[in-house]
Structure 1
Amino acid sequence: MATLSLVVPVYNEQEAIPLFFEALEQVKTKIENFNFEYWFIDDGSTDNTIQTIKELNIKYDYVHFIEFSRNFGKEAALYAGLEHTTGDYIAVMDVDLQDPPALLPEMLDGVLSGEYDAVGTRRVNRDGEPPIRSFFSSLFYKIINKISDTYIVEGARDYRVMSRQMVESILSLQEYNRFSKGIFAWIGFKQKYIEYKNVDRVAGSTSWSFWKLLKYSIEGIVSFSQAPLLISFFMGFISFLIAIIFIVILIVRHFIDPGSAINGWTSMVVIILMVSGVQLLSLGIIGRYISNIYMEVKKRPIYLARKIK
């Protein structure tokens, strides 16, 4: 029989894991002629998450886990899980049950039909989330889809079922700075999305703060667009043109009225601050790209595992 591998990144989710496993075991009964394997990736949890996973591993021979040596982030956990799966088809899910397990049979059928290489999910609303987070999330998708050649579906989740061929293509991209939503879209293949309404967490609280989400969105923009560099260039070019215009005005004024004095400390300070701000902003943008290059050329591993079983 074919095997479906479930990749489940976890971080401080000791309360949600038993509920998740129970829900998936119920869904298993609706998927015939398939073996299941679970891969839980513990991303350096500080609670009893790894102990909970180990208990399942002892009880069920199809439950496996990777214990990171420290917190490497969800992107590293996703990569590690995909790297160790052995299934013919692979599903990526969150453990908090915000990814409805009931959709799994339909998603798998879409891939089994041969019409699609991946069937993913997207949320059509964000009920229950802070309005400020929803606003910036929507803004992020609008910005990145305007400045990037890679189209990312708004509201797309990591929750998806993929063919082995597609997973191997993802693993071939061994970049250190990873943005999976962009990678899923960039590799192509035939994909479709199933829409669903937002579901609250079954237990615990999210580890994604506003600041973490902001950094993650910046990583996505830097990874899949060169537009910030072009913006930096144009700002510098415009500042240069303005400076040339003022130089010409000053020279002409000098010859027309040699005795005139140029007054205005305030205007001078404003001009200096504006030009300096443009320079610092440009350096910051360039520095962010250089930072990514620096991390890539060091060739550090994407993750380090303390135990794999």
Structure 2
Amino acid sequence: MDIPLFDLSTWRAAEQQERVTLAARLDQAMRDSGFFLVSGHGIDASLTDRIRAEARTFFTLPGTVKDTYATGVGGRGWIPCGREVNAFYGEVADADKPDLKETFTLGRELPGGDPAWFTPNVWPAEVPGLRAPVTAYADLTQALYRELLEVLAVALGLEAGYFVARTRQAPYTFNINRYPPRSVTGTPLEGQFRVGPHTDWGILTVLDRQPGYGGLQVQALDGTWADAPYVPGALTVNIADLLARWTGDRWRSTRHRVLPPPDADVNEELISLIVFCESDMDRTVVPLAPPVGGGTDYPPVVAGDYYRERDAAASFD
């Protein structure tokens, strides 16, 4: 699969014509894999190290304490193991095989914003050091998101600010996922994953991940699965469903999964930092017409309606 490494520092220093060439390289990858890696982003690894250290403190709290922060998919707080099941859109998720992960989830707070999308965050009193690095990282990631939207607009031959102007009031969701080791989960059921095969819902997903046996895999066009490449310090970015729809399937929102906890290392525990970047929720998304768009004629959809449907499909009691 074509999953290139895109150096954002090179983009920032480039003249306009060179930017067109660099963006065209991403256009090629978005048609093939829908994934790319980003280096030169300027987000210091010490910040993500702090987040992981504080998150581990939270995840190791007794269940009775974490229960006071419990929420469902789409909420703010702690999503326990067994509360979420991912599946490909349109397929019936198997509630008997929930994802083998727990999540601390938060999102954008926008004064005066629709409370349906801008829910107040919940911060565990037992881990006072979590809020500062998480907030700093979220702000940096949103700045990166806007910059990547400019790159992708140029890749489509659009005005650089095309997508940025349509995402200014967008929420985001920031998930800190803990993938417990097999020594904790026990042997997974057949077909059970840390995160089941799925596509993401929105515009872009920005992922800071740790390599491991039970890591990220991406599905190729021929249906086979391959380990996603890993470059220390680089972030993994993928196109999500709403952007694929927006481009009339010129770009691919690709199935991916996180493998089960491995028997090769029964103590392997990974923590991923995942920021799901969205559009304005009142935005009506209409596929771009060819030759910019890929030609798939989806009916118009209001982004907020689309997200509500996907939320409902991913959670259960």
TM-score (structure 2 length as normaliser): 0.28
Name the structure where helix makes up a greater proportion of residues. Answer: 1
- Say which one has the larger Rg: 1
TM-score (structure 1 length as normaliser): 0.28
